[in-house]
Amino acid sequence: MQFEQETKVDIHEQSPLSLAFVGDGVLELLVRRKLVEYTRLVPSKLHSTCVKYVSAKGQSRALEILEPLLTEQEQAVLRRGRNASKATVAKHATPQEYRASTGFEALLGWLLLTGQDERIQQLFDAMWEGFDPTL
């Protein structure tokens, strides 16, 4: 997944919201790829199923599955993302779900930008395994 390139900014100096910006794209791509590879859904159904995973509510539920698996360093990144202040909150999520989803996205962004593609895949596989999109 990683596109090799030299970074100009120290990743540890990036704001959690910048990491979440990247992490949002990471999760969206992983979910879309999995759905296309393993289902025969039509595009409108692909989209509605994808939203169940990548919405703030879905990411918050996924994080409940993943939190026990996180290292101390990953938990620290997650906390930074959760504590980042945002001016808006998703209209279909509670503030707690929105903060959790921002933390989860920040974690995925940090993992990508630090070259930990294998760890992203491990966490995504665990999420996919334990996540029921019908709930």
Residue-by-residue pLDDT tens, the chain, 135 positions: 545 555 666 777 789 999 999 999 999 999 999 999 989 999 889 999 999 999 999 999 999 999 999 999 999 999 999 998 666 666 788 889 999 999 999 999 999 999 999 999 999 999 999 988 766
- Distance, in Å, from the CA atom of 82 to the CA atom of 106, rounded to the nearest integer, reads 8
Q: Which residue in 10, 24, 117, 125 is the catalytic one?
A: 24
- Determine the pLDDT at residue 91: 75
Residue 10: CB partners within 8 Å, gap ≥ 6? none
- Determine the pLDDT at residue 133: 74
Q: How far is CA 124 from CA 29, 51, 94, in A?
A: 11, 16, 23
Query: If DSSP codes are grouped into helix, strand and coil, which group holds residue 54?
Result: helix
10 classed as catalytic? no
Query: If DSSP codes are grouped into helix, strand and coil, which group holds residue 91?
Result: coil
Q: Which two tokens stand for residue 32?
A: 């879309």
- Determine the pLDDT at residue 119: 98
- Determine the pLDDT at residue 56: 92
